[in-house]
Amino acid sequence: MIDEDKIFVFDDSEGMADFTVARWNEISSQAIVDKGYFSAVLSGGKTPVAFYKRLAASKDIISWHRTHLFLADERFVPPSDSESNYGLIKEHLLSHVKIPDENVHRIQTEGITLEQSARRYEEDIRRFFRIDGCSVPQFDLIMLGVGEDGHTASLFPGKSSLSEGTRLAIPVIAEKPPGERITITLAVINNASKIIFLVSGRNKARVLKEIIEDKKGGLPASRVHPKQGMVYFMIDQPAASLLSGRKMAQ
């Protein structure tokens, strides 16, 4: 059972996006005060689009030059493909803010194999955090979604990728198309300072109840328990409709 204080339910996607932008600003400001930079991991899918748009339009002062963005997962397609997570984030966020190109750590998918892509992404993460092959980075914030089957990032139920304990990024073959993907591992996710799940839609209600209220904990999203960090669930009413206890954030 997840502490209900970390579960926020919203009437609509705009309210959810605005609240999440405010949390983003708090977390990034604190990280920049503490260390001089903010490292965040973004996800693809439809749900975060409203958040990306609101973040891009935010009137708050955001230190984009001190912000470094990574991806939780990527579909193995060119960046111009409509299925590209980088392409989606670029369209709704990156093209609208003044973030230096070198602060955007996308997962290369062109002219490279799936395995090479995962290895190169891991090298990029290690270089940024200046860590060796034995250490796991601590991102300030990882933003995740949840699939109807309980997947998160591109970690799917019942797959060996869930038990990867050493690598930071791995290639996976997913049942959900496009099948070839690269994903960060649970080792990285569970070392983050903060995790925000964004979940919307009635089709997520059943799986969300299982993740939040059941104790079985076998689904990929149920295995997100950062060792020293916090998990926030931002949920719209339809996705929250089967939860027994609800806490409104507004």
Of the two residues 66 and 184, which places its CB atom closer to ligand 6PG in the complex? Answer: 184
Span near ligand 6PG by CB under 6 A; candidates 113-121, 140-148, 206-214, 236-244: 140-148
Query: Residue 207: in which H helix or E strand, if any?
Result: helix 205-213
Phi, psi of 38 (to 5 degrees): -125, 125
Q: Judged by CB under 6 A, which of 147, 150, 171, 229 binds ligand 6PG?
A: 147
For ligand 6PG, how many residues bind (rule: CB under 6 A)?
A: 14
Q: Cβ(216)–Cβ(222) under 8 Å?
A: yes
150 sits near ligand 6PG (criterion: CB under 6 A): no
Give the number of other Cβ atoms within 10 Å of residue 9's Cβ. Answer: 20
Q: Cβ(112)–Cβ(106) under 8 Å?
A: no
Of the two residues 137 and 147, which places its CB atom closer to ligand 6PG in the complex? Answer: 147
Distance of alpha carbon 126 from alpha carbon 120, whole angstroms: 10
Q: Which of 205, 159, 210 is nearest to 186 (CA)?
A: 159
Residues 72-91 contacting ligand 6PG, CB under 6 A? 72-73, 85
Of the two residues 4 and 83, which places its CB atom closer to ligand 6PG in the complex? Answer: 83
Binding string to ligand 6PG for residues 27 to 66, with x set by CB under 6 A, is what?
A: ----------------xxxxx-------------------
Q: Cβ(109)–Cβ(78) under 8 Å?
A: yes
Token pair of 220 as six digits: 């990929």
Q: How far is the CB of 115 from ligand 6PG (least distance, A)?
A: 19
Q: Which residues bind ligand 6PG (CB under 6 A)?
A: 43-47, 72-73, 85, 145-147, 151-153
